[in-house]
Chain A
Amino acid sequence: MDRQAVAGRWQQVREVVPDNQGLVLVLLFVVGNTLVFALGALAGPDLWLAFLVATAIALPMVLLVARIRSLMGGRDLAAGLEYLFGRWPSRAVALGYGVLTWRLSCYVMSDVTNFVQAVALPTTPQFVVASVLALLMLWAAKEGVEVIARFSVVMAKVVLLVLAVTFLLMLSEVDIGEFLPVMYDGPKPVIMGALQLLDFPFLEVIVLFWIFDCFQSKNSPYKVFLPGFLIAAFVLMIVACTSMAVVGARRYGFYYFPVWTAVARINVSTFLTRLEAIIGVTFAIGSFVKMAVCLLAASRCFAYALGFKDYRFLVTPLALGAIPGSQWFLSNVLEMERSATRTHRAGELALQVVLPIVLWLVAELRSRKSKKHVKKGEASGS
């Protein structure tokens, strides 16, 4: 097949992701690069409660995203957006989310480069690792969401297996007393921990709204977003709580990478030791998927905002822009840790909470209006 035919095929094909693959993609996106950080550290011993509260708060937002996609019917993303919100408002919204998703890809890239420099390659310049990552995510994003979803299905097995084995091995080091007393300092630490978790990674799910072009059926968004998010939240809760119980509630927040430290303590008869590298593998896989998804979403958003059907031509400049971007937003490991454990940020709050609610309300109103028009037309026709 010549290049012209390939380019034409890319522009015409509607990318449909099967529900099960979409679910795994959501799971791997949420777990992504978050595994190694001190998630919800402000909650202290009540970390599990913070997880439950954050999941309960994020769930309506996830449902809301699924609902908006469901209201689009069988349309692809561009047609669905124009059907619900009109052309120019949709483009303005896409521009905002383009900036958000590109910035998120820079953050994830920075997380990986800082992590690699901190634990493995201290003298290697960060831009070297960033350049390799940019090439990888560029490749994945150019292949499209279907390929990323299929890759996720294969890699999720590795990630979940590694996490399950690590969890079982960590059980010998766990001290259940670290979870007690429950809510000794009242509800404030729980709320603060939940806010940390909402900021990173739970409300980042909004990015996924932009990567799926078409779904299999009208109910597919629910089947993809809801179980994917819930399983990811459960996995993160188990890993974070186990790590906290191993390193201690007080020290959990002091480490940059508490999971790494917790896994390093595994010692099976002095035979199985130094297993933290396998956590690095899961981190690398998750980060790669998350970066690719963010880059894909950014390319889609910018292409749609500027009136192009094909988004692939924007992937390269955005990926190469993420290399300096990753050094610009977070220049060192301290800033990276702060960004992963902050409780709120105005810009993100607006794009992850306020705008989706407004979009949902508009989508419901317009969808009902158009349904009424259809019914009126049918009644007058008969």
Chain B
Amino acid sequence: MVGLVILAYVAVAAFELYLWAERPWKKVVVYLAFFAAAGTLAALLTLNKYLKVPEPLGALQRWIAKLWQGGGSK
């Protein structure tokens, strides 16, 4: 299944790149990087449906929630 998902993303990327009139290398690199990220996410989710979402501001979120529970008195 993972192979199929990756194949689908590769096929779409290849087809769209083929349709481009010009292929400046900078654009192509960025385009492929974004596609790789999207394909990787799809593959990881196929392997693990409950993949954890990173929370870079999780500590701040917990702090606000703590303040809120105290009704702003803390």
Interface residues of B in 29-72 (CB under 8 A from A): 30-31, 34-35, 37-38, 41-42, 44-45, 49-51, 53, 55-58, 60-61, 63-64, 68
**Which residue among A318, A321, A347, A349 has the maximum number of chain B CB atoms within 10 Å of its CB?**
A321
Interface residues of A in 300-355 (CB under 8 A from B): 302, 306, 308, 313-314, 316-318, 320-321, 323-325, 327-329, 331, 343-347, 349-350
| B74 touches A (CB below 8 Å) | no
| A7 touches B (CB below 8 Å) | yes
CB of B44 to closest CB in A, whole Å: 8
**Which residue among A4, A306, A323, A324 has the maximum number of chain B CB atoms within 10 Å of its CB?**
A324
Asked if A324 meets B31 with Cβ closer than 8 Å, knowing A316-B16, A345-B61, A347-B56, the reply is: no
Asked if A306 meets B42 with Cβ closer than 8 Å, knowing A3-B21, A346-B64, the reply is: no
When each residue 293-304 of chain A gets 1 if its CB lies under 8 Å from chain B and 0 otherwise, what string results? 000000000100
User: B30, A308: Cβ atoms under 8 Å?
Assistant: yes
**Which residue among A7, A313, A344 has the maximum number of chain B CB atoms within 10 Å of its CB?**
A313
CB of A125 to closest CB in B, whole Å: 12
User: B38, A327: Cβ atoms under 8 Å?
Assistant: no
Q: Point out the residue from A306, A317, A324, A343 that lies within 8 Å of B35, measured CB to CB.
A: A317
CB of A120 to closest CB in B, whole Å: 22
User: B57, A324: Cβ atoms under 8 Å?
Assistant: no
When each residue 235-261 of chain A gets 1 if its CB lies under 8 Å from chain B and 0 otherwise, what string results? 000000000000000000000000000
Complex: how many Å from CA A67 to CA B69?
35
CB of B62 to closest CB in A, whole Å: 9
Q: With a CB–CB cut-off of 8 A, which chain A residues contact B27? A: 308, 313
Interface residues of A in 1-33 (CB under 8 A from B): 2-4, 6-7
User: B31, A346: Cβ atoms under 8 Å?
Assistant: no
Q: With a CB–CB cut-off of 8 A, which chain B residues contact A350? A: 57, 60
When each residue 2-19 of chain B gets 1 if its CB lies under 8 Å from chain A and 0 otherwise, what string results? 000000010011001001
Q: Point out the residue from B22, B45, B55, B60 that lies within 8 Å of A324, measured CB to CB.
A: B45
Asked if A4 meets B41 with Cβ closer than 8 Å, knowing A313-B31, A328-B53, A347-B61, the reply is: no
Complex: how many Å from CA A344 to CA B21?
45
Q: Point out the residue from A6, A316, A328 that lies within 8 Å of B51, measured CB to CB.
A: A328
CB of B2 to closest CB in A, whole Å: 12
Q: With a CB–CB cut-off of 8 A, which chain B residues contact A6? A: 21
CB of A116 to closest CB in B, whole Å: 19
Interface residues on A, range: 20 to 34
Complex: how many Å from CA A316 to CA B15?
11
Complex: how many Å from CA A346 to CA B65?
9
The chain B residue sitting closest to A8, CB to CB, is: B21
Q: Point out the residue from A4, A314, A317 that lies within 8 Å of B21, measured CB to CB.
A: A4
Q: Point out the residue from B9, B22, B68 that lies within 8 Å of A320, measured CB to CB.
A: B9
User: A329, B53: Cβ atoms under 8 Å?
Assistant: yes
User: A347, B57: Cβ atoms under 8 Å?
Assistant: yes
Complex: how many Å from CA A317 to CA B35?
5
CB of A17 to closest CB in B, whole Å: 26
User: A4, B22: Cβ atoms under 8 Å?
Assistant: yes
Q: Point out the residue from A7, A321, A331 that lies within 8 Å of B49, measured CB to CB.
A: A331
User: A327, B49: Cβ atoms under 8 Å?
Assistant: yes
Complex: how many Å from CA A306 to CA B24?
14
Complex: how many Å from CA A325 to CA B35?
13
Complex: how many Å from CA A327 to CA B22?
34
CB of B37 to closest CB in A, whole Å: 6
User: A314, B49: Cβ atoms under 8 Å?
Assistant: no
User: B30, A306: Cβ atoms under 8 Å?
Assistant: yes
User: B49, A317: Cβ atoms under 8 Å?
Assistant: no
CB of A258 to closest CB in B, whole Å: 25
Q: With a CB–CB cut-off of 8 A, which chain A residues contact B21? A: 2-4, 6-7
Q: Using a CB–CB distance below 8 Å, which chain B residues touch chain A?
A: 9, 12-13, 16, 19-22, 26-27, 30-31, 34-35, 37-38, 41-42, 44-45, 49-51, 53, 55-58, 60-61, 63-64, 68
Q: List 13 A-B pairs, Cβ < 8 Å.
A: A4-B21, A6-B21, A7-B21, A302-B34, A313-B27, A314-B30, A316-B13, A317-B37, A317-B38, A320-B12, A321-B38, A347-B55, A350-B57
Question: What 3 pairs across the A-B complex have the smallest Cβ distances?
Answer: A321-B38, A317-B34, A346-B61
